[in-house]
């Protein structure tokens, strides 16, 4: 009836009628059923957001800014945790598609071919994030982890470090960075692989492992700042000076990286920017607006701090 119009498109209704409706709404405490509305109009105003785990600090700024941008445009985020093994990817995606969201934002790439095909078939706008590929399901905004890896290795080598090592989570993106790192080194290096998500605790163990493999290690790249923090703590406990005896580089530029003692060299990625962009791209696509680029490289930056001051 007219009531619906008064609420959703008041411009086309008489002022007097609007007022009557408003009073009725007030009196009854009526709250429109968005589900029914979305059901009929085919616009749920829901965006599915998939992360490996919400507890990964790494993706928080992304999630935060995404939610914010979406909210301002009237969209809500429905959250899914895909876990770090890929087995849950497909069922999760299945459930999410069942909810007919207007868009899907995924942290990382969609790995299963079946899931990719299905997503493409249903035609829901999809943004993959925090990674890069020439063949996204739909859109992608991220950066190259391989390049990050080789940039860090190059950074160490340029400063004269010879004996390099890696402490990394066993997730896909970590593996890519390791790959890039090794490529730039031109050979294998001592590596401690820890189960994602990483933590300080795991960082301490990782350093022990690496040193057991090769006690001469003088520079180590860690796949997260948390891991790096653990490595530094373990170094301290062993009487190794950072950066004197051991140079450390993290990844993520966490809050504490600038303030730790010594401050931590790390890789800065604009996580909030990724979230904002992803949300904007989804929203644009939902409104049939053209997307200028469906593959966006936001890049990254090595932030040099005390933990890698050049040796000798």
Partner DNA sequence: CTGTTAGCGCTTTCAG
Partner DNA sequence: CTGAAAGCGCTAACAG
Interacting residues with a copy of itself (CB under 8 A): 29, 31-36, 38-39, 44, 46, 49, 53-55, 57, 60-61, 63-64, 67-68, 71, 76-81, 94-100, 118, 121-122, 199-201, 204, 226, 229-230, 233, 236, 255-256, 258-261
Positions that interact with DNA (CB under 7 A): 1-2, 4-5, 7-8, 12-14, 16-17, 32-33, 36-37, 39-41
Nearer to a copy of itself, 76 or 154 (CB): 76
Q: 3-class DSSP state for residue 176?
A: helix
Q: How far is the CB of 31 from DNA (least distance, A)?
A: 7
Q: 3-class DSSP state for residue 211?
A: helix
Q: How far is the CB of 292 from a copy of itself (least distance, A)?
A: 28
Nearer to a copy of itself, 185 or 272 (CB): 272
Q: How far is the CB of 262 from a copy of itself (least distance, A)?
A: 11
Contact of residue 77 among DNA, a copy of itself, none (CB under 5-8 Å per partner type): a copy of itself
Contact of residue 4 among a copy of itself, DNA, none (CB under 5-8 Å per partner type): DNA
d(CA 166, CA 181): 9
Contact of residue 12 among DNA, a copy of itself, none (CB under 5-8 Å per partner type): DNA
Residue 131 tokens read as 């990674």
Q: 3-class DSSP state for residue 76?
A: strand
Query: Are 126 and 138 in contact, with CB atoms under 8 Å apart?
Result: yes
Nearer to a copy of itself, 63 or 211 (CB): 63
Query: Are 177 and 223 in contact, with CB atoms under 8 Å apart?
Result: yes
Write the burial class of residue 14 (CB in 10 Å: 0-12 exposed, 13-18 middle, 19+ buried): exposed
Q: How far is the CB of 78 from DNA (least distance, A)?
A: 18
Sequence-distant (6+) residues with CB within 8 A of 273 are: 65, 298
Nearer to a copy of itself, 255 or 297 (CB): 255
Angle at 121 between CA 117 and CA 125, to 5 degrees: 100
Sequence-distant (6+) residues with CB within 8 A of 70 are: 47, 76, 77, 279, 282, 283
Contact of residue 79 among a copy of itself, DNA, none (CB under 5-8 Å per partner type): a copy of itself
Q: How far is the CB of 26 from a copy of itself (least distance, A)?
A: 11
Nearer to DNA, 16 or 188 (CB): 16
d(CA 28, CA 45): 25
Q: How far is the CB of 187 from a copy of itself (least distance, A)?
A: 32
Contact of residue 284 among a copy of itself, DNA, none (CB under 5-8 Å per partner type): none
Residue 251 tokens read as 């990844």
Cis before 274 (ω within 30): no
Nearer to DNA, 8 or 87 (CB): 8
Count H helices and E strands in the chain, helices first. 11, 12
- For the beta carbon of residue 23, count every other beta carbon within 10 angstroms: 10
Contact of residue 170 among a copy of itself, DNA, none (CB under 5-8 Å per partner type): none
Q: How far is the CB of 5 from DNA (least distance, A)?
A: 6
Nearer to DNA, 26 or 188 (CB): 26
Nearer to a copy of itself, 99 or 162 (CB): 99
Q: 3-class DSSP state for residue 148?
A: helix
Q: How far is the CB of 291 from DNA (least distance, A)?
A: 23
- Which helix (H) or strand (E) segment holds residue 297: the answer is strand 295-297
DSSP 113-172: HHHHHHHHHHT--EEEESS--SS-SSEEEE--HHHHHHHHHHHHHHTT--SEEEEEESSH
């Amino acid at each position: 009836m007219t009531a619906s119009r008064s609420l959703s498109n008041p411009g086309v209704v008489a002022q007097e009628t609007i007022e009557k409706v408003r009073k009725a709404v007030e009196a009854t405490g009526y709250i429109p059923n968005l589900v029914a509305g979305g059901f009929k109009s085919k616009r749920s105003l829901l965006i599915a957001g998939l992360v490996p785990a919400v507890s990964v600090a790494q993706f928080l700024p992304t999630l935060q800014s995404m939610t914010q941008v979406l909210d301002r445009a009237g969209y809500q985020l429905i959250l899914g945790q895909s876990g770090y093994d890929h087995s849950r990817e497909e069922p999760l995606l299945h459930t999410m598609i069942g909810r007919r969201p207007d868009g899907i934002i995924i942290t990382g790439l969609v790995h299963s071919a079946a899931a990719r095909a299905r997503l493409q078939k249903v035609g829901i706008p999809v943004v993959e994030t925090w990674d890069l590929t020439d063949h996204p399901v739909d859109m992608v905004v991220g950066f190259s982890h391989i390049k990050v890896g080789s940039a860090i290795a190059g950074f160490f080598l340029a400063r004269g470090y010879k004996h390099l090592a890696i402490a990394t989570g066993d997730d896909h993106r970590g593996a890519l960075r390791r790959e890039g790192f090794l490529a730039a080194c031109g050979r294998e290096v001592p590596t401690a692989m820890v189960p994602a998500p990483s933590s300080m605790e795991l960082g301490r163990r990782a350093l022990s492992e690496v040193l057991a493999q090769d006690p001469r290690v003088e520079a180590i790249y860690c796949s997260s700042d948390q891991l790096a923090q653990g490595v530094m703590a373990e170094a301290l406990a062993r009487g190794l000076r950072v950066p004197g005896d051991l140079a450390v580089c993290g990844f993520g530029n966490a809050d504490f990286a600038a303030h730790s003692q010594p401050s931590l060299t790390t890789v800065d990625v604009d996580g909030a920017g990724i979230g904002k962009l992803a949300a904007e791209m989804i929203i644009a696509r939902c409104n049939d607006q053209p997307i200028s680029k469906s593959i966006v490289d936001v890049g990254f930056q090595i932030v040099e701090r005390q933990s890698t001051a050049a040796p000798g």
